[in-house]
Amino acid sequence: MSQKEYATIAPAEGKLGILVPGMGAVTTTLIAGVESVKRGLAAPVGSLTQLGTVRLGKRTEGRSPKIKDFVPLAGLNDLVFGTWDIFEDDCYEAAVHAGVLDRPMLDRLKEPLSAIKPMKAVFDQEYVKRITGPNVKDKGSKMEKAEMLMEDIRSFKESSGASRLAMIWCGSTEVHHSAAAVHQTVKDFECGLMKSDPSISPSQMYAYAALKSGVPYANGAPHLTVDTPAMMELARERQVPIAGKDFKSGQTFMKTLIAPGLKARMLGLSGWFSTNILGNRDGEVLDEPGSFKSKEVTKLSAIEQILQPELYPELYKNIYHKVRIEYYPPRGDAKEGWDNIDIFGWLGYPMQIKIDFLCRDSILAAPLALDLVLFMDLAQRAGMKGVQEWLSFYFKGPMTAPGLYPEHDIFIQLMKLKNTLRWMQGEDLITHLGLEYYD
């Protein structure tokens, strides 16, 4: 694939089915958002696929089409949604419960939202400790449950009339665990499924079912799913794109804006303390130490990778970095994130930066989920298989080929994403050299 000058992309014909394990705050905000944009009730703010442009050729050419006009993406009118959740609420009820969007807006969308009812989930309390619900597949080995998910995928495709599918995990964060023996090869994993190995989590069963069914899989949460040798092998074998992990939506988004700026100016950093208050169901799940650990790992990695202390020891070798999330129900989805950044400048003189980001978690995450499924479907039609590193832009913990360090700098990530789109369409890559303007 990488040897070709550009990709051959199959057209986006027919409907694209978006399959989502977990129908909570992010998923309902995504679906309600797509329905309102389709009806002209709101604008898709925050979505690169819907609003972004890509410059082509030289600056003097004046060619900057919208991304959605430049590459053949599925249109919003062609999207259909299928979900799983441990609760029986339909999408309207779940959106009301999530409390992200206001009631008048949801009431205008009641008909399409009420029609989306979650399929029975594969769930394991060992992996998400704080919640329990009735809408679950409770019988069978892990392999049988994965097969039931494959059957769900088949019947959703048939009933929705979708010609293609893409899956994105927007379910709760599972407890932190590392890849075990069972995650090393597809064969090990399949044996593990048959033996109901305790190291196999529900999200891994959804991912297995998706990849076996030829459906791309993106992971919006920080836990271990497609970032294992077994899943990477399966994705390559089935020629399916995978991407992850953990939406880069709020505080880490801020970090990856600021840290590259400090490094660009060669300013030093001695400490970065981040804390959040959050009162939605995600906050409740993250209040449990095992699930928080998954989040902490992806949240901590970004700064170190961006600042490269091994190259700049005098600026970044002794950073004290701490991240906290506090569950505080009165705030619901309206998270508040504080950052205290201790920096130093010329001759080592200390300075401080304070950030108080009064954000809305799911308002920030929903457009990322939309872009991801549209780009994953594009990648599939372009024949791009395995890890989609060009989608690092969307993730706190970007997946890469084994042995490569991930790129966290959001501006480099955006350049890489746009250059990938240019490459797909056979356009010149943009290097920003620009000497020709001065010849």
Ligand X SMILES: NC(=O)c1ccc[n+]([C@@H]2O[C@H](COP(=O)([O-])OP(=O)(O)OC[C@H]3O[C@@H](n4cnc5c(N)ncnc54)[C@H](O)[C@@H]3O)[C@@H](O)[C@H]2O)c1
Residues that bind ligand X (CB under 6 A): 21-27, 84-87, 98, 121-123, 128, 131, 133, 170-173, 202, 220-221, 246-247, 249-250, 280-282, 285, 361-362, 364-365
Cis bond upstream, residue 255 (ω within 30): no
- Residue 410 tokens read as 């959001």
**C-beta neighbour count of 25 within 10 angstroms:** 28
Alpha helices in 240-311 (DSSP H): 251-264, 281-286, 289-307
Min. distance of Cβ 297 from ligand X in angstroms? 13
Q: How far is the CB of 302 from ligand X (least distance, A)?
A: 13
> Between residues 171 and 268, which has the closer beta carbon with respect to ligand X?
171
Q: CB of residue 272 vs ligand X: minimum separation in angstroms? A: 19
CB of 294 to ligand X, least distance (A): 8
Query: Which residue's CB is nearer to ligand X, number 213 or number 362?
Result: 362
- Nearest residue to ligand X, by Cβ distance, number only: 24
Whose Cβ is closer to ligand X: residue 216's or residue 397's?
Answer: 397
For residue 81, what are the β-bridge partners?
Answer: 18
CB of 222 to ligand X, least distance (A): 7
Residue 192 or 279: the one with the smaller Cβ distance to ligand X is 279
Q: Which is nearer to ligand X, 62 or 330 (CB)?
A: 330
Q: Taking the CA atoms of the chain, what radius of gyration do you get in angstroms?
A: 22
- In the complex, the smallest distance separating the C-beta of residue 190 from ligand X, rounded to whole angstroms, is 20
* Helix intervals (H) in 85-185: 91-98, 103-108, 110-114, 142-160
- CB burial of 127-163 (b: ≥16 within 10 Å; e: otherwise) equals bbbbeeeebbbeeeebbebbbbbbebbeebbeebebe
Q: Which is nearer to ligand X, 71 or 86 (CB)?
A: 86
Smallest gap from residue 391 Cβ to ligand X (A):
15
* Terminal CA-CA length for the chain: 36
CB of 252: closest distance to ligand X in angstroms?
8
Which residue in this structure is represented by tokens 């919640």? 131
Nearest of 94, 120, 102, 104 to residue 281 by alpha carbon: 94
* 235: number of Cβ within 10 Å: 24
Report the alpha-carbon distance of residue 15 to residue 220 in Å, rounded: 23
Q: State the CB neighbour count (10 A cutoff) for residue 262.
A: 20
Closest approach of Cβ 280 to ligand X, in Å? 6
Closer residue to ligand X in complex, CB, 50/362: 362
Q: Which is nearer to ligand X, 216 or 220 (CB)?
A: 220
Q: What's the closest the beta carbon of residue 295 comes to ligand X, in angstroms? A: 6
Q: Least distance to ligand X from the beta carbon of 331, Å?
A: 13
Closest approach, Cβ 43 to ligand X, in A, equals 20
- Which is closer to ligand X, CB of 82 or CB of 220? 220
Closer CB to ligand X, 233 or 246, in the complex? 246
**DSSP codes of every residue in 370-418:** HHHHHHHHHHHHTT--EE-GGGGGGBSS---STTPPPP--HHHHHHHHH
How deeply is 402 buried, as exposed, middle or buried, from its count of CB atoms within 10 A (0-12, 13-18, 19+)? exposed
DSSP state of 136: B
- Residue whose entry in the numeric block shows the structure tokens 């989805």: 333
AA identity, residue 363: I
**Cβ-based nearer residue to ligand X, 164 or 335:** 335
Pairing of strands 386-387, 350-358: unpaired
What lies within 8 Å, CB to CB, of 381 at 6+ separation is 9, 10, 11, 12, 72, 164
